[in-house]
Amino acid sequence: MEAVLAHLRQAIEQGEYAVGDQLPSEAALSREFEVSRSVVREALRGLQALGLTVSRTGRGTFVTASGPPENPTFGDYSARDLVEVRRHVEVPVAGYAARRRDADQLALLADLVDRMDAETRDAAWVALDSQFHVTIARASGNPVFAKVIEEIRDALARQSAFLNQLGGRRTQSNVEHRRIVTAIAEGEEDAAAAAMTEHLDHVEKTLTTIVRPARAGEAETGTTA
């Protein structure tokens, strides 16, 4: 899927398909790339997630932009807005949760990370991910923090699905989530805040990589676009 998506994205960004053009059908792309139609379908969903195309029922997939937005939107909020808010809210929230969580909240967090590790369905994993972050906010003991995270819950779920589909984030997120829970369970406020910071750093880095992939020369020197 990643190879098909990369090829189609490059074709659009290089002008082989102009804005308004219709992409070949799923069947045609399946034959061209010698992959199943389900693989093609996932790649087309990736193009839509990037804001490059739109699917019109009964008509096909049409190009809507020549490049992805610098600041993609998830529901009512942009990626930049979410990153800024999450750093100012979820990092201290994790620290407060390490000090204030009760036994039931800790048990729920442990259960959630176990379920995320075992979950293979993307939609189900995203739902668990949203519940995970809301639970930490509630464990902070401050209802205002919980209200903020609940307000952006839908946007966080959309962002999570985007990162999983285009950035393969799920496995690494599971590792990061478990580090956060371990620090909270041990009552280590600074460690919990640091683990959440690391998690959000990786979220931001993956978003940047998806929207502005490193060019060949930059990849060799370690710089980003």
Q: For domain 2-63, give the fold.
A: Arc Repressor Mutant, subunit A (1.10.10)
- Provide the pLDDT for residue 92: 98
The answer to whether the CB of 223 falls within 8 A of the CB of 179 is no
Give backbone dihedrals phi and psi of 54, rounded to 5 degrees, phi first.
-140, 140
β-bridge pairing 60-63 and 77-78: unpaired
**Residues above pLDDT 70, as percent of the chain:** 94
DSSP letters for 192-205: HHHHHHHHHHHHHH
Say which range, 4-13, 66-75, 78-87, 99-108, has the weakest mean pLDDT: 66-75
- Provide the pLDDT for residue 167: 85
Mean pLDDT of 3-32: 93
Compute how many other C-beta atoms are within 10 angstroms of the C-beta atom of residue 184: 28
Compute how many other C-beta atoms are within 10 angstroms of the C-beta atom of residue 147: 11
Say how far apart CA 77 and CA 40 lie, in whole Å: 29
Over residues 155-194, the pLDDT tens digits come to 999 999 899 888 889 999 999 999 999 999 999 999 999 9
Res. 62 pLDDT band, cuts 50 70 90: very high
Predicted TM-score (pTM) of the model is 0.81
- Provide the pLDDT for residue 219: 41
Say how far apart CA 118 and CA 195 lie, in whole Å: 22
**Whole-number Cα distances in Å, 140 to 66, 116, 182:** 44, 22, 15
- Provide the pLDDT for residue 75: 86
**Whole-number Cα distances in Å, 170 to 12, 31, 120, 165, 207:** 27, 30, 10, 9, 14
Q: Does residue 126 carry a pLDDT above 70?
A: yes
Say how far apart CA 215 and CA 225 lie, in whole Å: 7
Q: What mean pLDDT is reported for the chain?
A: 91
- Provide the pLDDT for residue 37: 93
Q: Does residue 51 carry a pLDDT above 60?
A: yes
Q: Does residue 214 carry a pLDDT above 60?
A: no
Say how far apart CA 45 and CA 7 lie, in whole Å: 14
CATH architecture of the domain with range 73-211: Up-down Bundle (1.20)
Residue predicted with more confidence, 158 or 225: 158
Say how far apart CA 11 and CA 33 lie, in whole Å: 14
Say how far apart CA 223 and CA 225 lie, in whole Å: 7
Res. 68 pLDDT band, cuts 50 70 90: confident
The answer to whether the CB of 54 falls within 8 A of the CB of 64 is yes
212 in helix, strand or coil? Answer: coil
Over residues 78-124, the pLDDT tens digits come to 999 999 999 999 999 999 999 999 999 999 999 999 999 999 998 99
Please state the domain extents for the chain.
2-63, 73-211
